[in-house]
Chains A and B, each alone.
Chain A
Amino acid sequence: MRLVRSILRVLLRGLRFLRRDKKAMAGSIILFVLLLITAFPSWFTPHDPSAEIYTPGIGLSWSHLLGTTSFGQDVFSQLMAGTRQSVLIALIVGFFCTVLSVAIGITAAYVGGLADDALALFTDVVLVIPTFPLIIVITAYVKNAGFWLMVFVLVFTGWSYGARQLRVQALSLRNRDYLLAAKARGESTWYVIGVELIPPMTSLIVANFLGAALYAVLAASGLQFVGLGNINDQSWGTMLYWAQNNEALQTGLPLWALAPGVAIAVLGSALALLNYAFDEVANPALRPVRAQRLKRVHA
């Protein structure tokens, strides 16, 4: 119970700050809207996203806000429908990556000794191996990678950055006096980790979550763009795949190619803005400063 209360306290303090920060505000609003679209896509799709019954190749028009594809699909509805996959991948991968980084990073730091060395080595090796080519190789063998395979591969390659960061931070906190005091009081290891060690690191953990989510969005859309995802899925990445394969740019249908990219950019920006805002919560020195002009005072 105390763990929950202390985490909530830190979160509330963070939230109060965020309300004042424009970046965080912008990011949160965008995210909220996207979550809304994810939950209720039908509210936002004026036409059936996959139906190929409309006049192909129209540009901006009143009935088709973003025009249609060369197959005759409504771009706008496709865009809205694709929101769900991207947002879900971001959140799910972000969540699992964070769980793994917290578990491995913090445990390694706390436990110390040989186990720590081994875990740290493992983390660093995974970190150093270039993930995107690896993902390409894996998904190439498993043709038409579905949603959950992508989640698995992204989590497998994405947890190490956070684990390293958290481990470094946890190491610096580990020898602080208040932790030694808790130990001297006879508190159990889990208590010390859960109640004393983790809450001060909350903003770093949140920042990590957002970073992992951002990574997931960009990597997943990249994979789908080159056709390694399931090309029949409704997502922004696959829209880009079809647009590219049908030379949308060259055939005068730029919206088809550019709109999904804008959507990805919007989601990505929201995550990046929030990430940065949380970085500032964790490190107040980074907060914006009004330029000061030296006051000249004469006697």
Chain B
Amino acid sequence: MSRPILQIRDLRVEYATSSGAARAVDGVTLDLAQGEFLAIVGESGCGKTTLLFAVAQLLTYPASTVGGSVLFDGVDLTALSPEELRVRRWRDISVVMQSAMNALNPTLTIGAQLADACRAHTEWDDKRIHERSVEVLSMVSIDAVHLKSFPFQLSGGMRQRAMIAMALLLEPKLVIMDEPTSALDVVAQRSLMRQVESLRRQLGFSVLFVTHDMSVVSHFSDRLAVMYAGQVVELGRTREVFDRPEHPYSKGLMEAFPSLLGAPRRLTGIAGTPPSLVNPPPGCLFAPRCAHATDECRSVLPELITNEERAVRCHLVNPVVRS
């Protein structure tokens, strides 16, 4: 078994707020294998995007990493100097952001923005840069004439695809995607996902994909991680987590999505609101909203325990054995 391309160990990120430090990522530990597609899902504010940017070392004030490590191919990214980090960017890890309209520099052409990345990390001459740019654009079915276009001249879907093309410029081992489908309609979403999937098979890169909409990844990701209040509460093979969720929160999420093919049923939500990240409750963070919470749940924080390729953070699933 080759070494996982990404090893996140007990990562903790805090936001400085006027009422104290908010723990947005609370001790996340994850492995990502080479060529694997891992999806992270959760509601708004659960820390999934923060986690993503913490892994990519792109956090800015008021967020900061306060603990843990991120090992990429064996190298601890959190221990690198800014210049050492900069040199690795885009070659090793590239990023696709949520809104391509906002993520592309409005005053530079697509070609110039592609060339930017090339020049920062390679010795390629202009001809080679041009060739490669045309190559990646064709991978996402964008005509080479758009090298001269400005972002505002492209359609929404095209911009998003251009972002993906840009992410693949230097053949990175890991592509991080932050809700790249949120701004698109369902048809464009599916088309984008299939494109990502086919490119992944072709080029073999790993994907770390964050979304609040599980249905988008349900047929594409290898594994699925469910996050709640900064913690991973469930992790396992995508189809299995989908069909047989074990954590009460995951169960609630799955119930909230009606099936297109199943019998009509009443929609259920999850009562309550996420906990304060500045003053989290003792014990399980989901306990205040959980219908099955016990006293144990409310006082002792459950560990993320792995059992046959499924990890769950719940006392009810993994009861604490008392000797």
Q: List residues of A whose CB falls within 8 A of some B CB.
A: 289, 292, 294-299
Number of interface residues of B (CB under 8 A): 13
Contact with A along B204-244 (1 / 0, CB 8 A): 00000000000000000000000000000000000000000
Q: Which of B9, B61, B68, B79 contacts A296 (CB 8 A)?
A: B79
Interface residues of B in 56-73 (CB under 8 A from A): 61, 64-69, 71
Alpha-carbon separation in the docked complex, A69 to B254 (Å): 87
Closest to B79 in A: A298
6 additional contacts (CB under 8 A) given A294-B82, A297-B65: A289-B61, A292-B61, A292-B64, A295-B66, A297-B78, A298-B69
Asked if A297 contacts B69 (CB within 8 A), the reply is: yes
Query: In the assembled complex, which residues on chain B have CB atoms less than 8 Å from the CB atom of A297?
Result: 65-69, 78
Query: In the assembled complex, which residues on chain A have CB atoms less than 8 Å from the CB atom of B9?
Result: 299
Complex A-B: 8 CB contacts under 8 Å: A294-B64, A295-B64, A297-B65, A297-B67, A298-B76, A298-B79, A299-B78, A299-B79
Closest to B80 in A: A296
In the complex, what's the smallest C-beta–C-beta distance from B71 to chain A, in angstroms?
8
Query: In the assembled complex, which residues on chain B have CB atoms less than 8 Å from the CB atom of A292?
Result: 61, 64
Main secondary structure of the interface of A (DSSP, over half): loop
Alpha-carbon separation in the docked complex, A294 to B59 (Å): 10
Closest to B81 in A: A296
Query: In the assembled complex, which residues on chain A have CB atoms less than 8 Å from the CB atom of B76?
Result: 298-299
In the complex, what's the smallest C-beta–C-beta distance from A298 to chain B, in angstroms?
6
Alpha-carbon separation in the docked complex, A298 to B82 (Å): 15
Q: Which 8 A-B pairs rank lowest in CB-CB distance, beginning with the nearest?
A: A299-B69, A292-B61, A297-B67, A297-B78, A298-B79, A295-B64, A299-B9, A299-B76
Asked if A295 contacts B65 (CB within 8 A), the reply is: yes
Query: In the assembled complex, which residues on chain B have CB atoms less than 8 Å from the CB atom of A299?
Result: 9, 68-69, 71, 76, 78-79
Query: In the assembled complex, which residues on chain A have CB atoms less than 8 Å from the CB atom of B71?
Result: 299
In the complex, what's the smallest C-beta–C-beta distance from B85 to chain A, in angstroms?
10
Closest to B71 in A: A299
